[in-house]
Amino acid sequence: MAYDWGWGHMLFGSLMMVLFWGGIILVIVLLVRWIGSGSAGGAGVPSAGKTPLDILSKRFARGEIDKEEFEERKKLLSD
């Protein structure tokens, strides 16, 4: 018994391969975008919609700057 399916299986197999690799690439891109969304803009670039005072307050809350430096920079920002 010979099965003669013609080009149908070859086209179906090619389509499945393209869909498979396209899905893998899509998952990788979405994963990179999801991981990258935690850091907005990169080092030293403020996030959109945040004021300099908001950023300064967060730096103080994280302990990156002390109270004296916070007050000094806050005063400079308010001038």
Per the structure, the complete domain to which residue 76 belongs is given by: 48-79
Considering the entire predicted model, what is its pTM?
0.42
Encode the chain (79 residues) as per-residue pLDDT tens digits.
556 666 777 888 899 999 999 999 999 999 999 898 765 555 555 556 688 899 999 999 999 999 999 999 999 988 7
Candidates 27, 35, 8; CA nearest to 19 is 27
Shared domain for 31 and 58, answered yes or no, is: no
Shared domain for 52 and 79, answered yes or no, is: yes
In a domain, 43, yes or no: no
In a domain, 66, yes or no: yes
- Look up residue 44 and give its amino acid: G
The structure tokens listed for 58 are 């967060």
Q: Write the CB contacts of 56 (distance below 8 Å, at least 6 apart in sequence).
A: 65, 70, 73, 74, 77
Q: What is the pLDDT of residue 9?
A: 75
| Structural domains counted in the chain | 2
